[in-house]
Amino acid sequence: MNPGGKDMKTNTILTGDRPTGKLHIGHYLGSLKNRVKLQNEGKYKMFIMIADMQAFTDNARNPEKVRNSLIQVALDYLSVGIDPAKTNILVQSQIPALNELTMYYLDLVSVSRLERNPTVKSEIKQKSFGQSIPAGFLTYPVSQTADITAFKADTVPVGDDQEPMMEQAREIVRTFNNTYNVDTLVEPEGYFPPKGQGRLPGIDGNAKMSKSLGNCIYLSDPADVVTKKVMSMYTDPDHIHVEDPGKIEGNTVFTYLDAFGTDKAKIAELKEQYQAGGLGDVKVKRYLNDVLQEILEPIRNRRAEYEKDIPGVYDILKKGSDNANIVANQTLSEVRKAIGVNYFD
C-alpha cells in the first residue's frame, strides 16, 4: 500500500493513542514499530497525538488516570524511537482549534449515523454503558475527524477495526466540502498494519491483549517481569508431557514467535518438534523470552534515560503542541471562511 494515498496530496500522517495506561507490545507490533519506520523514511510530516480528551470520554470521573498516563505514553513513544526532531508529539487538549472544528462537524452528522458506526457499537457493548452512554463517547468519531482534518492528514495509521471510523471521517469531509462548495478539508485514508500484525492475543490466550484484562506485556516491564509473564503464557492445554504432540494453532507462544522472531528457520524447526512430540513448553518459552528481551532491552534503556528528566519530556510535549497549534489554527481559519463566520477578518 502507498502510505501517502493515491495522489500523495499532502504526505501528512496523524496517529496517536488514548492515555489510559502504559503501552504494551501489542501497541508496538500493531502501530509503534511502523510509526518509527514511517518517521525515519523522511517522506511524511508526522503528527502523533496523545488523545487525552478522547480518553476523558469514558474516564471523566477519573482524571488522575488520564493525567498520570499521559507522561507514561510520552515515555513509551520516546523509548521506542519516536524522535521529536522528526515528529510532532502533541497533546489533544492543548489544541483549542480541535474543539471548534468538532462543533462545526457535529452539525453535519446525525445521531443515528453515529449509533450505526460498528466500531462505536462494539466499544459501547464492551464497556457495558447500557443506556448511560456519555455523549462525548458517542460523538468521538466526530472529534477524531477534527483531529485528522485539523492537520490535513491524508494518511492515518490505524488497526483493522478502525476502518468504520475512517469511513465516517471521509463522509464528514465530503459533506463539509459539498455543503460549503469548497475543497478545504482533505479526505483521509487508513494505513493498516501488515496482515496478521493488527492485533496480538493476550498472554492468557484471550483474543485481545488489553490493559483492562491485565494480560499484557508492557514496553516498560522490567526484564524479570517479562520473564515471569512469558513463563506463564497460555500454550496447548493438552500438551501435558514433553513427549505429547502439541498444537501450535491458538498457542500464544508460537503466535508471539511468529510476530516477533526473526529466525524463521529456527521457529519452523521448533514448530515441527512441538507438533511431533518431544519438545516441552518451557524450552519454547525460554526461546521466546530471549527474543522479547532482545527487543525490549534497548527500549527500557532509552526510557530510563528520559525518566531522568521528566520536565524535559513535558517540554517536548509543549513544543510539539505549539507547532501543532500553528497548523490547526490555519485550518480553522479556512473552515471559518468556508462557513462564513470569519466576521471580523
| pLDDT averaged over every residue in the chain | 93
Establish if 216 belongs to a structural domain: no
Establish if 144 belongs to a structural domain: yes
Least confident of 16-20, 105-109, 121-125, 224-228: 121-125
pLDDT of residue 196: 57
Q: Are residues 22 and 146 in the same domain?
A: yes
The per-residue pLDDT for range 79-90, each reduced to its tens digit, is: 999 999 999 999
Where do we find the cell 518517521? 39
Establish if 213 belongs to a structural domain: no
Whichever domain contains 83, its CATH number is 3.40.50.620
Greater model confidence, 161 or 291: 291
Least confident of 123-127, 139-143, 272-276: 123-127
Distance CA(220)–CA(297), nearest Å, equals 9
Distance CA(45)–CA(267), nearest Å, equals 38
Q: Are residues 227 and 135 in the same domain?
A: no
Establish if 2 belongs to a structural domain: no
Distance CA(299)–CA(304), nearest Å, equals 9
pLDDT of residue 125: 86
Q: Are residues 127 and 239 in the same domain?
A: no
Query: pLDDT exceeding 90 applies to what percent of the chain?
Result: 83
Q: Are 154 and 187 in contact (CB under 8 A)?
A: yes
Query: pLDDT exceeding 70 applies to what percent of the chain?
Result: 96
pLDDT of residue 158: 82
Domain of residue 299 covers: 221-305
Q: Are residues 133 and 150 in the same domain?
A: yes
Q: Are 314 and 306 in contact (CB under 8 A)?
A: no
Q: Are 82 and 115 in contact (CB under 8 A)?
A: no
Please tell me the pTM assigned to this model. 0.92
Q: Are residues 69 and 182 in the same domain?
A: yes
Establish if 43 belongs to a structural domain: yes
Q: Are residues 178 and 266 in the same domain?
A: no
Whichever domain contains 299, its CATH number is 1.10.240.10
Q: Are residues 287 and 335 in the same domain?
A: no
Least confident of 56-60, 128-132, 179-183: 128-132
Q: Are 190 and 162 in contact (CB under 8 A)?
A: yes
The per-residue pLDDT for range 277-298, each reduced to its tens digit, is: 999 999 999 999 999 999 999 9
Q: Are residues 262 and 285 in the same domain?
A: yes
pLDDT of residue 197: 59
pLDDT of residue 161: 76
Arithmetic mean of pLDDT, 183-200: 82
Q: Are residues 80 and 153 in the same domain?
A: yes
Establish if 3 belongs to a structural domain: no
Distance CA(295)–CA(277), nearest Å, equals 29
Establish if 212 belongs to a structural domain: no
Place 7 in a pLDDT band, splitting at 50, 70 and 90. very low
Q: Are residues 79 and 164 in the same domain?
A: yes
The per-residue pLDDT for range 10-64, each reduced to its tens digit, is: 699 999 999 999 999 999 998 899 899 999 999 999 999 999 999 999 999 999 9
**Of 277, 284, 195, the residue nearest 233 (C-alpha):** 284
Q: Are residues 153 and 247 in the same domain?
A: no
Establish if 204 belongs to a structural domain: no
**Number of domains within the chain:** 2
pLDDT of residue 270: 97
pLDDT of residue 212: 80
Q: Are residues 242 and 107 in the same domain?
A: no
The per-residue pLDDT for range 296-340, each reduced to its tens digit, is: 999 999 999 999 999 999 999 999 999 999 999 999 999 999 999
